[in-house]
Amino acid sequence: MNLTYLENPGWYALNSHHSHLAIKGKIAARYQPGTVIGAAMLENNIIGFRDLEDLVEVDETMVVFGSIPTEMTGWEIMETIKLPQMICQDLEPAPHLDVIDLSSENVPEMLDLVAKTPPGPFLKRTIEMGRYYGVKQDDKLVAMAGERLHLEGFCEISAVCTHPDYRGRGYAGALTTLVAERIFERNEVPFLHVAPTNHVAKRLYSRLGFSLRSEIQLTILKRLA
């Protein structure tokens, strides 16, 4: 288990389990449109961002992990966030929950749920990045969670969300635990990122057995003409 991979998870995912979703340049890579707005390079330097320019449309937005070189041209920095990264090595058991496997057929209702409970980016093709599970009540999808960045030895849990009308029933915790269990079954380690101000989620993940590994910089950039 090489924890240094988690300092640059996008790069190691794009060059391992997600290579089939990658668009690659000489030293930079990005995810295909519609999956996730993520790009990466082995080292965030000016040469790498010049290479990335050829992979990104003008005015298109990208997200990059890690520090950004100063005096960089060709890009506008929209926002920089210090994102808590949590890792799980000792999972707490969760109550049984009747779940369904989500597929591309479920994407419209998944997008509708995400719009009501912003858990972070989820696009039309994000489901291609890993397994997703959901809970249905009253014939509608009310909670879900799944896998996003998948690299050697690690897999990210993402899109954990519950419809506002169905919160307080333990769905988020049970789904997060289920996804983590499936990751452990592959002899991989689950990790996740949480918004710095989402203290409720941090407490939940801590109860489930996740601990803070680091704060990783996330930068949102826009490609300039």
**CATH homologous superfamily of domain 3-83+218-223?**
Gcn5-related N-acetyltransferase (GNAT) (3.40.630.30)
Per-residue pLDDT, averaged over 64-74, amounts to 92
- For residue 94, is pLDDT > 80? no
Per-residue pLDDT, averaged over 80-103, amounts to 92
Q: From CA 121, how far away is CA 115, in angstroms rounded?
A: 10
Residue 10 and residue 158 in contact, taking contact as beta carbons nearer than 8 Å: no
**pTM, 2 dp:** 0.95
Does domain 86-214 fall under CATH 3.50.30.30? My reply is: no
Task: Please tell me the predicted confidence (pLDDT) of residue 142.
Answer: 97
Domain 3-83+218-223 identical in fold to domain 86-214:
yes
Per-residue pLDDT, averaged over 125-153, amounts to 97
* Band of residue 70 on the pLDDT scale cut at 50, 70, 90: confident
- Listed by start position, the domains of the chain span 3-83+218-223, 86-214
